[in-house]
Amino acid sequence: MNKNLYKLAWNSQWQKKYDSKGEGLDGSGFFPARISSKLKNSFMVSHEKGECLCEYSGKFRHHYLESRNFHLAPGDWVIIRQQSEHDFPLIHDYLERENDFSRKKAGKSSQDQLLSANLDFLLIVSTFDRDFRARRFERYLSLVNTPLIKPVIVLNKVDLVESPQSFISQLAASGIQAEMVVTSTVTGQGIEELGQYISAGKTACLVGSSGVGKSSLLNRLMGEDVQTTREIRLKDKRGRHTTCTRQLFQLPGGGVIIDNPGIKEIAMTGNEAGLEENFEDIIALAASCKFRDCRHEGEPGCAVQAALSEGLLGHERYSIYLELRNESRNVKADKAKWQKQLGKLQKQLKKEREKRYF
């Protein structure tokens, strides 16, 4: 394989997955590519020879999209096929992902929104002011459902605060375990440190509210302005969010980074794996509760409540945990309801069809 593919964080594991897709992938116009961004009905992909636009093949659309509601996201590896020089290449298949990062879609929908796939690091960017709340960080941290993705908190715009240390101590006191990097795209502080996470072969994804400086950090890491940032956009007055699509970039020193539009609402998906991982201390306490299904909300013999009153567990941390857990359970219940309705509809549809034939 061409070394350009490795610059997209391709490795022997992906090669193995590609090879296992069967004979005939070589020499018949097939090649691997990584989704760089999603457009309305097509994708921009990066591959060993550069970039190109491509579309789903009819088979892929039917097999994954329509039958299984499976979607691709920036970071996914796909197998595309260029049948002739004049055709648009088509997405023929995809390589099973290692992991992904999703949130629940904003609003009432109970569906998830897939933000990106195949990550090594989730860079949760925040500034030291409005955004700086343990609760918000805990949301992001609890959405990381796999130990394969390492979350890193990036505290940007440090040039604007006088005593960053008090903010940082505040975070540490609330029990947040994630590593932190303090940065400024104005003075360059912390940029090198941040860059070390995104070394050759690694993929990182920038998330956080609008205006915290995600694209500015990306530009700094790239060494050139590849993404538009706020000032430039203010002149053409086109709305609040500066970045409008997710997009993948290759850093000059190797490593891949995905920039995201600002995230306003970071809602739980109903998958509790990340929540449990992030609140290991509480989960460990819960093992000693008298009742196995203890909700830790005042039941007798509750070890979590006991730790709370003995001061072994902080009230803030406890209340964040309950808030996220309850939200997560509600989403799970909504999803189950939705699935049931969908099942009913499908059955009805099948009956209607059968009626037509007989």
In the complex, the residues that contact Zn ion under the rule CB under 5 A are: 289, 294, 296, 302, 304
The verdict on 157 binding ligand GTP (CB under 6 A) reads: yes
Please state, in angstroms and as integers, the Cα–Cα distance from residue 149 to each residue in 112, 139, 141, 206, following that order: 18, 15, 10, 13
DSSP label at 160?
Answer: G
List binders of ligand GTP among 298-357 (CB under 6 A): none
- Torsion (CA) 45, 48, 51, 55 in degrees, nearest 10: -40
Binding mask 210-229 for ligand GTP (x = CB under 6 A): xxxxxxx------------x
Residue 273 φ/ψ region, left for φ over 0, alpha for ψ in the -120 to 50 degree band, beta for the rest: alpha
State the minimum distance, in angstroms, from the CB of residue 302 to Zn ion. Answer: 3
Give the residue with the Cβ less far from ligand GTP, 262 or 270.
262
**Locus of tokens 């992991």:** 99
State the minimum distance, in angstroms, from the CB of residue 261 to ligand GTP. Answer: 5
Binding mask 232-271 for Mg ion (x = CB under 5 A): ----------xx----------------------------
Give the residue with the Cβ less far from Zn ion, 94 or 321.
321
296 binds, among ligand GTP, Mg ion, Zn ion, none (CB under 5 to 8 A by kind): Zn ion
Give the helix/strand (H/E) hosting 217. Answer: helix 214-222
Stretch that binds ligand GTP, among 132-140, 153-161, 323-331, 350-358 (CB under 6 A): 153-161
Stretch that binds ligand GTP, among 168-176, 178-186, 286-294, 332-340 (CB under 6 A): 178-186
Residue type, 117: A
Give the residue with the Cβ less far from Zn ion, 106 or 284.
284
State the minimum distance, in angstroms, from the CB of residue 308 to Zn ion. Answer: 10
In the chain, which ranges are continuous DSSP H helix? 3-6, 12-19, 58-60, 67-68, 134-143, 164-173, 191-197, 214-222, 230-236, 273-278, 280-286, 303-309, 315-357
Please state, in angstroms and as integers, the Cα–Cα distance from residue 184 to each residue in 122, 208, 224, following that order: 18, 15, 16
DSSP label at 26?
Answer: S
Which residues of this protein are in contact with ligand GTP, per CB under 6 A? 156-157, 159-160, 184-186, 210-216, 229-231, 241-243, 261-262
